[in-house]
Amino acid sequence: MARPDSGALPYNRGFMRVVVTGAAGFLGSHLSDRLLAEGHEVVGLDNLVTGDEKNIAHLAGNRRFRFVFHDVTEYIFLDGPVDAILHFASPASPIDYLQIPIQTLKVGALGTHKALGLARAKKARFLLASTSEVYGDPLVHPQPETYWGNVNPVGPRGCYDEAKRFAEAMTIAYRNFHGVDTRIVRIFNTYGPRMRPNDGRIVPSLIGQALRNEPLTVFGDGSQTRSFCYVSDLIEGIYRLLKSDHKDPMNLGNQAEMTVLQFAETIQRLTGTKAPIVHKPLPEDDPKQRRPDITLAQKTLGWEPKVGLDEGLKNTVAYFASRR
């Protein structure tokens, strides 16, 4: 395998050996697929706390994929060269924040520290999967990368929000102090096949209820807004960011904004369910608005989402229907 002479990735001189943490998760598994499709070798790490081996079962027998059962909050040792590390290990749903808050904090802090340590030792490029949650309940709309956020550190979402904010700070510190070549992607709402059916996020929750002909739950009056990016679009953006020279945080998400009530009505229409929509109290610190400003990604990467909501949701509904 070709090795770079300096910190540059060897895209023009051979394929990479890439480490993906959280490889059995929703995004990590899709990212592993993309890297393998591009001809790279992937070492996937996961302790399966929220990941699922079924997400990578189709990679069994692929000679360029190796799965390692490992908790990334512990020291990471790998033989041989590593060209890039993509740190995607983390719980990522409101249910997780309540059930495993300490693990969520540890993977954001200790896990990021260990992954950055590996990047430093291997002289590898490091890409951190951050989140739109670093903006909290935003007072600026849409949210550009320059916005510092409005986060409640002691609220029910604080363990995740602050873990990711700390992870970003740690990543920048390793870049500035140790010279590690880093990238940070701030991921907005993403959906698609391989999401956990019961993870509590809006897409699997509403699709699951619709397929079971149960009332669709909308919190509050449903006027809070979200934007939804299909997983293949997100993975394309991440791959372009990995190859780019951009080192500061970058938003990736879909700018098409809609209310939660409108989204629930879309699920009703696409699934054909006759189940009604019911309203429940709004959770604490639930963001009122969430839409990315992707001007930077458009200008720097030439990237923007291509998959329409109906198309993406039909694929996602078909996936969840197959899992019943």
CATH code of the domain in which 89 resides: 3.40.50.720
Percent with pLDDT over 90 in the chain? 87
Q: How many domains does the chain have?
A: 1
Q: In the predicted model, what is the mean pLDDT of residues 179-184?
A: 98
Q: For residue 11, is it within any domain?
A: no
Which pLDDT value is given to residue 14?
A: 67
Question: Which residue intervals of 2-100 are DSSP H helices?
Answer: 26-37, 94-99
pLDDT tier for residue 8 given thresholds of 50, 70 and 90: very low
Per annotation, catalytic residue among 97, 160, 230, 239: 160
Beta strands 17-21 and 84-87 are parallel
Give the three-class secondary structure for 180. coil
Is 90 exceeded by the pLDDT of residue 2?
A: no
Write down the pLDDT at residue 73: 97
Q: How far apart are CA 224 and CA 260, in angstroms?
A: 6
pLDDT band for position 324 (cuts 50, 70, 90)? confident
User: Residue 317 domain-assigned?
Assistant: no
Question: What is the rounded average pLDDT of the residues 271-295?
Answer: 90
What SS3 class is residue 191?
strand
| Mean confidence (pLDDT) of the chain | 93
The question of whether 135 is a catalytic residue gets the answer no
Residue 73 and residue 106 in contact, taking contact as beta carbons nearer than 8 Å: yes
Q: What is the residue range of 142's domain?
A: 17-194+229-255+289-306
How much is the average pLDDT of 81-102? 94
Give the number of C-alpha atoms closer than 13 A to the C-alpha of residue 96, restricted to the C-beta side: 18
Span 34-71, pLDDT tens digits:
999 999 999 999 999 999 999 999 999 999 999 999 99
- For residue 31, tell me if it sits in a domain: yes
Note the pLDDT tens digit of each residue in 148-161.
999 999 988 899 99
Q: DSSP secondary-structure letter at 222?
A: S
123 in any annotated domain: yes
Is 5's pLDDT higher than 70? no
Report yes or no on 105 lying in a domain.
Answer: yes
Interval 207-237: pLDDT, tens: 999 999 999 999 999 999 999 999 999 999 9
pLDDT at 307: 98
Q: What percent of the chain has pLDDT over 70?
A: 95
pTM value?
Answer: 0.93
DSSP reduced 3-state for 118: helix
Instruction: Report whether pLDDT(283) > 50.
Output: yes
Quick check: is 215 in a domain? no
Q: Looking at the domain assignment, is residue 245 inside a domain?
A: yes
Q: pLDDT band for position 7 (50/70/90)?
A: very low
More confident residue, 66 or 13: 66
Q: pLDDT tens-digit profile of 99-145?
A: 999 999 999 999 999 999 999 999 999 999 999 999 998 999 999 99
Spell out a b/e string for 258-292, using b for 16 or more CB atoms within 10 Å of the CB, else e: eebbebbbbbbebbebebebeeeebeebbbebbbb
Whether residue 313 is contained in a domain is answered as no
